[in-house]
Amino acid sequence: MSEADRNAWPALPYDAWRETYATLHLWTQIVGKIRLSLTPWLNHSWHVALYVTARGLTTSPIAYGARAFQIDFDFIDQVLRIASSDGGRRQMKLRSQAVADFYSHLLRELEELNIFVRINERPNEIPDAIPFTKDEIHAAYDPDYANRFFRLLMQADRVFKYFRTGFIGKASPVHFFWGSFDLAVTRFSGRRAPLHPGGVPNLSDAVVREAYSHEVSSAGFWPGGGTVDFPAFYSYAYPAPSGFDRAPVKPDGAFFSQDLKEFIMPYDVVRSAEHPDATLLSFLQSTYDAAADAAGWDRAALECPMGNIGIPRSVRG
């Protein structure tokens, strides 16, 4: 691996930054819930997600009456920026501070721009969640690890977007879900799925069922947690077809987690590979192949060659 690749895919040991990770997860939930509170529902909760930028994560523009504003995490300068379409600007330093303080400070900055928002103060998808206004526990923030996380997201976002070019069926954007704190891209077969059982901590069953209304093969990156105490790429199918868990997938080091019911590839497998992009693409493609073949997707109608810069996809009459 070249020195450039080594820097592009930085080390992100779970135990070394788990407290920063927990705090940052909650900060992204606050920002994401602001977008959620002002945005009409879009299928599969795509209206709530954040997006990777050249400096961090963004809400993208949020309509507010005739105006718009956006909130950006900048993990290079270590600030949270708010910009409105009428020229207003505010920013907050990203530093060690309690979730409750971050929350109150952000709402004050928005009010200075004449933006008034109310959100559900209970975090989603976190067991035993503490309301934001009462959370004085989560306050750690290491800017070095936040920057490493961003640099990893930027590389994963790039490879996921390339992988997405090989599919002409319905596919999600590459986007960051603050509830589960993961970067994801999802492909759809076009068929309805059975009703999801729900049961996600602090998340309405109605939301989960709408998200999984149709059959999917989904992949992403997650910093880890629970039984997976390391950063990892994942891939799952809903509903999981018979034999999916036994399918051979690439590369060596990828495995099926019976706890999570999805394929897992430790991030360090990619980071230590001679060709990280190719290694990650092999995982994305082989796990998608496993889902699509086991479920009998109409692959000829849904897939296309991978995209090339400046060359339109060939279409014959």
Amino acid (1-letter code) at residue 4 = A
**What pLDDT, on the 0 to 100 scale, is given for residue 296?**
98
For residues 231 and 93, state if they share a domain: no
How confident is the model at residue 317, as a pLDDT? 80
Domains of the chain: total: 2
Counted residue by residue, the chain has a size of 317
Residue 151 scores a pLDDT above 80: yes
* 176, 108: one domain: no
Specify whether 279 is located in the same domain as 153: yes
Q: Tell me: do 172 and 246 sit in the same domain.
A: yes
Instruction: List pLDDT tens digits, range 188-229.
Output: 999 999 999 999 999 999 999 999 999 999 999 999 999 999
Query: Do 216 and 247 share a domain, yes or no?
Result: yes
64 and 164, same domain (yes or no)? no
Average pLDDT (24-28) is 98
Cα torsion angle, 161, 162, 165, 169, sign: negative
Q: Do 156 and 182 share a domain, yes or no?
A: yes
Average pLDDT over residues 3-11: 81
Domain boundary among 70, 103, 134: 134
Domain membership of residue 218 as a residue range: 143-302
**121-125: long-range contacts at Cβ-Cβ below 8 A with a sequence spacing of 24 or more?**
122/202, 123/26, 123/29, 123/202, 124/29, 124/179, 124/202, 124/203, 125/179, 125/180, 125/200, 125/201, 125/202, 125/203
- What are the start-end ranges of the H helices in 263-305? 267-271, 276-295, 299-302
Sheet of strand 262-266, all strands in order from the earlier edge strand to the far edge: 175-177, 182-192, 214-222, 232-238, 262-266, 255-257
Task: Single out the residue in 83, 102, 134 at which a domain terminates.
Answer: 134
Strand residues in 26-66 grouped as ranges (E) = 51-52, 56-58, 62-64
- Whether 187 and 237 share a structural domain: yes
Residues 282 and 216 grouped into a single domain: yes
Domain co-membership, 30 together with 111 = yes
Span 287-309, pLDDT tens digits: 999 999 999 999 999 999 999 99
Q: Are residues 122 and 197 in the same domain?
A: no
Same domain, 164 and 129: no
Instruction: Dump pLDDT digits (tens) for 64-110.
Output: 999 999 999 999 999 999 999 999 999 999 999 999 999 999 999 99
How would residue 5 be classed by pLDDT, with cut points 50, 70 and 90?
A: low
